[in-house]
Structure 1
Amino acid sequence: MAQLLNFSEAVSRIKSLREAAGRQEEVRPPGWFLLALEGRAPWELWASVLSLPVLRQAPRGDGHPVVVFPGLATGDMTTLVLRNFLKDRGYAPYAWEQGLNRGPRPGVIEACVERVLRLSAEHGCSVSLVGWSLGGIYAREIAKMIPEDVRSVVTLGTPFSGSPRANNAWRMYEFASGQSIDTDPRLAGLKDPPPVPTTSIYSRTDGIVAWQCCVEKESARAENIEVHASHLGIGMNPTALYAIADRLAQPEGAWQRFDRSGGMGLKKLLYLDPARGPRFGVF
């Protein structure tokens, strides 16, 4: 009888694992409604302008260098607001200076690694990496290659797990990179977290990538922060900017998880609990 019970439990466990795998495979790109909501991106920029008095109360940095990587098919102009904010908060922000982000083409990753190494040597300290969307893939992979020179990684709407087709930009990626999304060997291992403090900032109302693909497995040095933002505007969204400043301001070697408490409950309203279940069956 005990053997039958053990066998039954094993079968039940296998079914549960298969169901979980099925749910993983069922993740789809955001639908037309969320895609249409991407039109709110310009309003997020204006929200940041109006929020400047509050944003200037964000934690100040210690002057260490921060390299900011742009998203797919965009360049350094799109990260100008973010870099100016980081400069105002006391950091030494740097653009990636590789033109339009067309994916990890030959020589680009190598140039980025060399730049991080050079900045680390010039400043005499490790470098933080902030990446928006595809730029976050660069940040994570570079941190894996030279962890001793990377202080922390922050990604914004970066899909590093799940199906590479669970987004509305995979065709653009194939066109820009010249690689098939299904056979590109560089996509293997993206879900493995960097061996440095890592924060994934994402939005369940992202209209470009499925938010489930942006969720990191939380650990002692990896976390998720959920914000109300569009994909095209998350890099200039005031709540995302404040969270970035909060994460980068931590003393090196003393990284702590993001604290959603305080502000008379306002932080819990602005920064939702990533562990909560989906609402309305979608987000």
Structure 2
Amino acid sequence: MTDHAASALLDIARRIATTVGETALEERRRGIAVEATKSSPVDVVTAVDRETEARIRAMLLDARPDDGIFGEEDETHVGTSGLNWVVDPVDGTVNLLYDIPAWAVSIAVVDGPPDPLHWHALAGVVVNPVTGEVFEAARGGGARLGARELRVNDDVELPKALIGTGFGYAAERRRTQAEVLLQVLPRVRDIRRIGSAALDLSAIAAGRLDGFYERGLNPWDHAAGALIVREAGGRVGGAGGAPESADLLVAGGPSVYDELLALVVEAGAAAG
């Protein structure tokens, strides 16, 4: 696919993400409540999640009727073009529920199946509707925050690195992740838990974090953010040289990536 084609896909992603983000923010300001739960009683869904994904799907099908759509809240739409849109209508639903201004609309388009082990990301957008920030990247075209070109921090040693992470919703996994954190925290500058993997990854691209790790992420959590990190000069992957997946995602600038990956694997981040 040409750079021009990837740029055109990015334009579609940006237009849809910013449009539905504005509507979601208006709905949040009117007030929301938990509508359902998913994997556990604390893994919540709101009407904003479902309505936002429905809007994204309708707009994508209008713009790209032959493409597939893989999202968090609805069944996969199988396309015929070989391209798939990977959609998280609200990444950070608990933040949305509590009115914490750190939730995002994340839209990526990938060449191949909606599986990070086998796809090639072409374009991605992460929009924080509360701040109005739009993080974006097209393959081979760099990463931007609005008009500003992004570049990861690449002069940081791990002991001075600010690292983001996240936690799953199942109690036993949270216990394991806390045990990993006990081993990671003394070896880095500090830890941040923002509550949105898409924003964590975008923060690495913008130099607001030096690295990030988490086990248990879904493809829609990182499809756009991982591309944004890579296009900002960072690295993203999993244990043993594998691509990022639910087993483990580690991201960071080149100066911290290898050490951070080794540290979290040694601490058991990929084991439970």
Q: TM-score, normalised by structure 1?
A: 0.30
Q: Which has the higher helix share?
A: 1
Q: Which has the higher strand share?
A: 2
